[in-house]
Structure 1
């Protein structure tokens, strides 16, 4: 079975694929300290109800058609409550596409 080759971290160290370098872990930890909780970002019981209703109406991933488990904001809301609750900005995604494809698209924006 083929394996991914090692990669070079931004600090210059060679690290195994899919493993965070120590500097990357520190950076992530610092970012996580500053980030508000999910509840503070609007993902509360009202969101859970709306998410469940949306997934019931749109059960397939918008990218591949597999069963969806995530309601994603097509355009990041960045704390804007109007964008957050705009259902035309929502799409159903499978975990794979939400956690990989969509995240890499958002990093480019």
Structure 2
């Protein structure tokens, strides 16, 4: 049965492909503690209503055409309220493309 080989983390540990190294788990936990909660970042009841309205008008994923469930900000708003509410900066995405393809694109910039 084929399997992917282990990879070497930046810290030097060897971990199986698809798994996180203990240093990565620790770093993620630290970042999560510092990150403001969703409502502090603007994702409140007003956003929920705007999101529903947008998805009613744009029901298909912009990348694959499957049903969209996420309203994504094309350009990350990074707390900028003007960018956050700019509907020209919104796009409908399915969960797969929001959580994988879009995240990879943002990390590579």
Q: Specify the alignment match of 2:96 in structure 1.
A: 96
Structure 1 residue 6, shift from structure 2 partner: 2.4
Q: Specify the alignment match of 2:108 in structure 1.
A: 108
- Distance in 1 between residues matched to 2:43 and 2:4, nearest whole Å: 35
1:51-70 to structure 2, matched below 5 A, reads 51-70=51-70
Q: Which runs of 4+ in 1 moved over 2 A?
A: 1-6
Superimposed CA distance per residue, residues 33-78 of structure 1 (whole angstroms, 9 cap, x where no aligned partner):
1100011000000000000110110010000001111000000000
Structure 1 residue 4, shift from structure 2 partner: 3.5
TM norm structure 1: 0.94
Unpaired stretches in structure 2, ≥5 consecutive residues: none
Q: Does 1:12 align with 2:12?
A: yes
**Which secondary structure state, in structure 2, belongs to the residue aligned with residue 92 of structure 1?**
strand
> Alignment RMSD, CA only?
1.2
Pair 71,13 (structure 1): closer, same or farther in 2 beyond 3 Å: same
**Which secondary structure state, in structure 2, belongs to the residue aligned with residue 40 of structure 1?**
helix
State the aligned residue count. Answer: 109
- Distance in 2 between residues matched to 1:58 and 1:5, nearest whole Å: 41
- Distance in 2 between residues matched to 1:3 and 1:69, nearest whole Å: 33
Q: Specify the alignment match of 1:86 in structure 2.
A: 86
